[in-house]
Amino acid sequence: MAIGIYKPGQGYWVRVLTAVGAGVLLLACAAWVWSQGALIKIPAGAWRYTLGPTQGATAAGARLEAFAIDPVTAQRSSFGEAVVRSIDRVEAGGTLIVEPPVLRDGTSPAAIVAFLGDGGFEASIASVSAVPMFEQLYLQAGMVALTLLVGLWLIYRLTARSPRAVEFLIATDGEMKKVNWSTRREVIGSTWVVIVACVLIAGFLYVVDQAFAAFFDAVGVLER
């Protein structure tokens, strides 16, 4: 795509102000996109488990058997396995991060209540949270950047490259130059005329309203 300005110097102010107005709308749109991006749920790339009572030890890369409460028997049962991504300390209050567990019966990773591993490792789960595949901020920044790039390209096309749009803006600029703008004295005089006329009309309507009210009160139509 060629880069440049179609008929530069013509319709300057109309083109500039059109670009400024479109830019303000674009910024408002970008702010809205940012707020909407915060509402998008990012898929979990891993799961973080806070450990309860723990025995034994495990390490990154180890396979763990995952246990959940069976809804039929209400007993703790094996529902699949998970691979350890990292662990900060193997004790109550420690944090265990695992790859997305492979579980049966569509069980949610949030339902896991304990892990069992080689070497006598056994840990109950105190709490669980999803670790998103990437930060929410990155998604929001990417959406805003894409919005701004597309918007700026459209503004550039509208005010600088599209012959049809530019010709319209140039013609608009030409018509604006033909407008006979009022002088300051004329504007002030016209404003006073409007103010006085409004006051007179308001006064007339008030007098008429009071006259009708007095008349209908006299003939008993209005109740006080």
Q: Do the domain assignments include residue 6?
A: no
Q: What is the average per-residue pLDDT within 25-30?
A: 97
Which pLDDT belongs to residue 55?
92
Overall number of domains in the chain: 3
Quick one: residue 11, left, alpha or beta (phi over 0 = left, psi -120 to 50 = alpha)? left
Half-sphere exposure of 105 (CA within 13 A, CB side): 13
d(Cα 159, Cα 34) in Å, to the nearest integer? 26
pLDDT, tens digit, 9 for 90 and up, residues 161-197: 999 999 999 999 998 888 888 899 999 999 999 999 9
pLDDT for position 98: 96
Where among 98, 117, 132 does a domain terminate?
A: 132
Residues 127 and 93 in one domain: yes
Q: Based on the domain organization, do 33 and 142 belong to the same domain? A: yes
Q: Are 164 and 89 in the same domain?
A: no
Same domain as 59, residue 124: yes
Same domain, 57 and 119: yes
Please identify which residue in the block is written with the tokens 């880069």: 3
32, 143: one domain: yes
pLDDT digits (tens, 9 = 90+) for 82-125: 999 999 988 889 999 999 999 988 889 999 999 999 888 999 99
Is residue 102 in a domain?
Answer: yes
Distance CA(20)–CA(185), nearest Å, equals 31
Is 5 part of any domain?
A: no
Residue whose entry in the numeric block shows the structure tokens 């209050």: 93
Mean pLDDT (the chain, rounded): 92
Structure-block tokens of residue 112 = 């896991």
Residue ending a domain, among 72, 107, 132, is: 132
Q: pLDDT at position 224, please?
A: 57
In a domain, 4, yes or no: no
Q: Are residues 77 and 128 in the same domain?
A: yes
Tokens 């998008």, residue located: 40
Q: Do 55 and 117 have their domain in common?
A: yes
Q: Bridge partners of 128? A: 49
Say if 152 falls within a structural domain. Answer: yes
Q: Specify if 3 maps to a domain.
A: no
What number is the average pLDDT over the span 150-154?
97
Residue 24 lies in a domain: yes
Same domain, 112 and 162: no
Domain extent at residue 190: 183-224
Residues 52 and 112 in one domain: yes
- Which percentage of the chain shows pLDDT scores above 90? 75
DSSP state of 161: I
> Is residue 121 assigned to a domain?
yes
What backbone torsions phi and psi does residue 147 show, to the nearest 5 degrees? Answer: -60, -45
Nearest to 15 by CA among 181, 176, 193, 173: 173
